[in-house]
C-alpha cells in the first residue's frame, strides 16, 4: 500500500499548509496561524452579537415608546417601517391560545397584521439575570 500524504498529514486551519510534526490533534502550523484564526473567529462572533443586540435594542425602543404613549398595540407594517425586526426576541412562550414574545421586560403578542397586548413585565427573569 502506498503512503498517502493527504490522509496521513493534517492541514493548518489557517494557511492550509501540512502540519508534519507535533501531536495528531494539532490544528495549526504555528502560533501566528492559531492567533490569526482565533482573532478572525472572535471578530465574526462580535459582529454577529452586536447585530443581534442592535436589533433587540431597536425592538425595545419601539415597544417602550408605544407603552409610554399609552398604546398597547400597533399595526405590524408600521412597526416594521420603524425598524422593528420580529425575528429577534429575548424569549417566547407558547400557550394553548397564543405565543407570548418578550423583549427584555416588555411582552407582546403577534399576529400577521399586528403587535398587541404589549405590556411591561414588573420583574422579568431576563431582566433579573442582567442585573445580577
We find the least distance from the C-beta atom of residue 28 to Zn ion, in angstroms, to be: 5
We find the least distance from the C-beta atom of residue 52 to Zn ion, in angstroms, to be: 31
Which CB atom, from 26 or from 114, has the smaller least distance to Zn ion? 26
We find the least distance from the C-beta atom of residue 5 to Zn ion, in angstroms, to be: 16
Binding site for Zn ion (CB under 5 A): 12, 14-15, 29, 33
Which CB atom, from 37 or from 116, has the smaller least distance to Zn ion? 37
Strands (E), the chain: 10-11, 18-19, 74-75, 91-94, 99-103, 106-110, 114-120
Which residues are CB-contacts of 104 (< 8 A; sequence separation ≥ 6)? 56, 60, 90, 124, 126, 127, 130
Which CB atom, from 12 or from 56, has the smaller least distance to Zn ion? 12
Amino acid at each position: 500500500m502506498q503512503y498517502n500524504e493527504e490522509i496521513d498529514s493534517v492541514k493548518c486551519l489557517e494557511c492550509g499548509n501540512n502540519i508534519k510534526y507535533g501531536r495528531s490533534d494539532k490544528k495549526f502550523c504555528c502560533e501566528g496561524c492559531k492567533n490569526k484564526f482565533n482573532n478572525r473567529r472572535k471578530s465574526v462572533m462580535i459582529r454577529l452579537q452586536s447585530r443581534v443586540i442592535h436589533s433587540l435594542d431597536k425592538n425595545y425602543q419601539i415597544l417602550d415608546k408605544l407603552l409610554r404613549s399609552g398604546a398597547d398595540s400597533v399595526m405590524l407594517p408600521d412597526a416594521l417601517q420603524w425598524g422593528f425586526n420580529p425575528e429577534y426576541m429575548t424569549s417566547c412562550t407558547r400557550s394553548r391560545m397564543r405565543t407570548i414574545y418578550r423583549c427584555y421586560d416588555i411582552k407582546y403578542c403577534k399576529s400577521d397584521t399586528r403587535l398587541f397586548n404589549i405590556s411591561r413585565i414588573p420583574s422579568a427573569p431576563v431582566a433579573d439575570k442582567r442585573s445580577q
